[in-house]
Amino acid sequence: MVIRMERLKHGLKLYCHYVSISIKSMMQYKTSFFLTALGQFLVSFNVFLGIHFMFLRFHTVNGFTYSEVLLCFSIVLLEFSVAEMIARGFDTFSQMVRTGSFDTILVRPRNEILQVLGSKFELTRIGRMLQATIVFLYAVLHCNVGWNFAKVMTVIFMIVGGTAVFSGLFTVYAAFCFFTLDGLEFMNVFTDGAREFGKYPIGIYGKKMLLFTTFVIPYALVQYYPLLYLTNRTDDVINILIPLCAVFFLIPCYAFWKFGVRHYKSSGS
Amino acid sequence: MITMENVCKSYKVAKRNAGFKAACKAFFHREYEIINALSDVSFTINDGEMVGYIGPNGAGKSSTIKILSGILTPDSGTVLVDGRIPYQDRINHVSNIGVVFGQRSQLWWDVPVIDSFELLRDIYSIPGNLYKNNVEELTELLGLQELLRSPARQLSLGQRMRCEIAASLIHSPKILFLDEPTIGLDAVSKIAVREFIKKQNELHGTTVILTTHDMQDIEALSKRIILVGKGKILLDGSLEEIKKGNANIDETVAELYRSFEI
Amino acid sequence: MRKYLAFFRLRFTMGLQYRTAAIAGMTTQFAWGFMQIMIYKAFYETQPDAFPMTFSATTSYIWLQQAFLALFDAWMMETEIFDSILNGNIAYELCRPIRIYNMWFSRSLANRISRAALRCLPILLIAVFLPYPYGISAPVSVIHFMLFSMTLVLGLLVTVAFCMLIYGLTFLTISPQGLRIMFTSMVELFAGAVIPLPFFPEKVQKIMEILPFAAMQNVALRIYSGSMSATEMEKAVLLQVIWLIILTSGGSLLCRYAEKKITVQGG
């Protein structure tokens, strides 16, 4: 146990070292950094405008009001951008496999994920995060949530769980790189797609979609169910804790990654 | 000590034929072929030896290095490096080896080289004193004084390679794998790199395995040569044995390649 | 003409080689279209009277948009061109006996068409067989279909001409990345890629329809499903032609200026 803790502490320290170098090298290209961050902001801003203009025409969707949808949109965006900042290194992982830089990671005595993620920390996602925060604040001010301790905790759990789900998906995406380098676009449905379509409460997509996102890829656990609680559609306190269950999603994702690394080591792709 | 016994390794590669029609056909049905990168490779390398591993492109040199450094798992055969099985005990294994891939960089492109070194210190958990001594020694021997403060992108290829080699030795590994370390370097850098590797071997008894296409590297560094072709070891012997009389080394090797039809 | 055709073949063959990529791309677009439709369905069910076009016209719009995504996607600018401008490789291209504007134009065109050619058929095929009102309905009339084809081509030309203008502007700035980001987000919103233009409030829509962005995918996709009146169609086609002329002449002027600048500076 003590050794475990020691290792964890060490790993964390190393990760921070990676992050500081990442930021340092990013700051060599300040313009590029700001523009990319701006781009992140603008892309999500378009999504926001899409919602905004739809609600100028329609008043509710499936009973959800404009500000409730914004609450949903901003929390999902927050979850996504935190996950991206940490784990988007997996996004360019196909390049790492293609150019063979993954080899240099394998010849170092450290966990592979720590090294991959550390070397590709993405501060530029701050643009998206900023957008999410602004919209979130707006939604908080205009929603009749009736904030209390339980609800604040719900939001925090949503962000923790959501970050875990998206990070897990990025991990799966990267693990696919070990098998194929050119079918990866498909995974975007689950990452970018989930961000894009998670802007509306999952309930509007019908029963089947709700089942899928409850039991297969647990988006609904970090979006729909806790949202019902936040917007006072249910009093069931279980909804506060549901988002935390989504963290278990990381287990199969990690297993798949390990499987991928083993495959890489036997095929040398 | 490094031993490889009856090691085999093959890859499955999708066939790609040229032409529009072939592409259309391949869209629906794809053919694969098996490439034997290594078939029944065995050798032993003792501590402190310097071995040149040569052969034409695609002969299996990189596969061997990758297996020895724990990146690849062989299909069959046994591999032991200082009593460890590289691909099973990766983390433990790689803390004791150094690897230089001549065509890849392990330095951070945009930050000073010394920052990359410091990160490596944390990666390998090198004690403070040892790190300081090693950096001083490597700086001295490789002439890095002026380079450590500049980002890798501003260095010339030769300068960068010197830093790469230093980075691979910063945790004082007992074994050093060099995959084409002199590729694309100018004459001065080549000589500097060779001198250094030689010194490292003499000073610390580091075992060195080096793949290269540059026969002068081999001539300058290794007494022993292993020649691979089509995944097999064709020859394992000393430079003198191979070189008949006073023939030029490039010609000798070209002659060898011809005689083995590789 | 032959060299352009050869280039197109090359691109198409390259696209075929990456079979998995092509299939993955189609599946992605299909899933995307499907989810979009679910959203509009939810809105339609909540408030059918607020819908600016019929529901089946909306689904046709979405499927066509997915099928022909490669023709109009604003993000699909060519990194190679940006790179060649930045690192000065463009000097080589200037040596070839072909006008740089024409070369890039046809190259982008070939790129987009070959991608779309590979991907549109399966998506259209599936969408046609989806039950009403979720699939693509037949075009309203033969004339509508012909107009659709024509405006599709015009829209593609306008899109490429617009991208050319961005490439040209790159010469004048230090950071093409910024330009690219600004313009692509603008195109996305104003061309109707985020939500179809009829869903915008009327006043906003009036302004948007005059802009060049509306001359891209908007016209063709709406004509197909018959959500434009005859006068609207006439105006839209006219605007497409006008914008095409403005954008191409602006772009080639810019390119000529840039060529001169490069020759003077020596790269």
| Residue C175, token pair as written in the block | 């950071």
Per-residue burial over B209-242, b if 16 or more Cβ lie within 10 Å, else e, is bbbbebbebbbbbbebbbbbbbbbbbbeeebeeb
Spell out which residues of chain A touch residue B152, defining contact as CB-CB under 8 Å: none
Q: What is the pLDDT of residues C245-257, one digit of tens each?
A: 999 999 999 888 8
Neighbour subunits, C (≥3 Cβ pairs < 8 A): A, B
* pTM of the complete model: 0.89
Would you tell me which residues 176-215 of chain A have a C-beta closer than 8 angstroms to some C-beta of chain C? 180, 182-186, 188-189, 193, 196-197, 200, 204-206, 209
> Is C18–A182 a contact, with Cβ atoms under 8 angstroms apart?
yes
pLDDT tens, position by position, A20-52: 999 998 888 888 888 889 988 998 999 999 999
The per-residue pLDDT of chain C, averaged, comes to 87
Q: What is the pLDDT of residues B22-67, one digit of tens each?
A: 766 666 677 778 888 899 999 999 999 999 998 888 788 889 999 9
- The pLDDT of residue A216: 94
- Over residues C119-133, the mean pLDDT reads 90
Q: Which residues neighbour A24 within 8 Å (Cβ) at sequence distance 6 or greater?
A: B110, B111, B115
CATH number at residue B247: 3.40.50.300
Dist. CA B149–CA B147, nearest whole Å: 6
Mark out chain B residues that contact chain A at CB-CB < 8 A. Answer: 9, 11-12, 63, 66, 69-73, 75, 87, 90-92, 94-95, 97, 99, 101, 103-104, 106, 108-111, 115-116, 118-119, 122-125, 151
**Nearest to residue B142, comparing CAs of B174, B94, B96, B100?**
B100
Specify the residue for token string 């990666």: B123
Chain A residue closest to B35 (CA)?
A267
Q: What percent of chain A has pLDDT over 70?
A: 99
Residue B78: domain span: 46-259
Predicted confidence (pLDDT) per residue in C12-40, tens digit: 777 777 777 788 888 899 999 999 999 99
ipTM: 0.90
For a pLDDT cut of 90, what percent of chain A falls above it? 70
pLDDT(A86) > 70:
yes
Distance CA B158, CA C124 (A): 56
Q: Are strands B32-45 and B97-101 parallel, antiparallel or unpaired?
A: unpaired
User: What does the domain layout of chain C look like in residue ranges?
Assistant: 2-265
Is B162 within the bounds of a domain? yes
Interface of A with C in 152-181 (CB under 8 A): 180
Q: How confident is the model at residue C267 (pLDDT cuts 50, 70, 90)?
A: very low
Residue of B nearest to C9 (CA): B20
Give residue-wise pLDDT tens across range C52-99. Answer: 999 999 999 999 999 999 999 888 887 777 777 767 777 676 666 667
C218, C197 contact by CB (below 8 A)? yes
The alpha helices in C97-229, defined as continuous H runs, are 100-129, 142-170, 176-191, 202-210, 217-224
Question: What is the model's pLDDT at position C96?
Answer: 67
B20: in domain: no
Determine the Cα–Cα distance for residues B2 and B83; give it in Å rounded to an integer. Answer: 8
Burial C210-219, CB ≥16 within 10 A → b, else e: ebbbbbbbbb
**Structure tokens of A138?**
């707006």
Model pLDDT, residue A127:
92
* B139 within a domain of the structure (yes/no): yes
Q: Is the pLDDT of residue C265 over 60?
A: no
Q: Convert the pLDDT of each residue in C211-240 to its tens digit.
A: 999 999 999 999 998 888 899 999 999 999
Q: Which residues of C touch A (CB under 8 A)?
A: 18, 20-21, 23-25, 27-28, 31-32, 35, 38-39, 42-43, 45-47, 50, 52, 174-175, 177-178, 181-182, 185, 188-189, 194-195, 199-201, 204
Rounded to the nearest angstrom, the minimum Cα separation between A92 and chain C is 16
Q: What is the pLDDT, as a whole number, of residue C266?
A: 46
Residues of A in contact with B104 (CB under 8 A): 99-101, 103-104
Beta partners for B32? Answer: B14
Six token digits for residue B102? 């001549």
Residue from the list B94, B109, B122 with its beta carbon closest to the beta carbon of A14: B122
Q: Is residue B41 part of a domain?
A: no
Mean pLDDT comparison of A171-185, A234-248, B226-240, highest-scoring range: A234-248
Q: How far apart are CA A246 and CA A168, in angstroms?
A: 10
Interchain pair A265, B72: CB under 8 A: yes
Asked if C261 reaches chain B (Cβ–Cβ under 8 Å), the answer is no
pLDDT the model gives residue B19:
65
Give the residues of chain B that fall short of pLDDT 70. 15-20, 23-28, 244-247, 262
| Chain C contact set for B24 (CB, 8 A) | 16
- Which amino acid makes up residue A189? V
Task: List strand residue ranges (DSSP E) for A6-63, in order.
Answer: 60-61
* pLDDT recorded at residue C5: 76
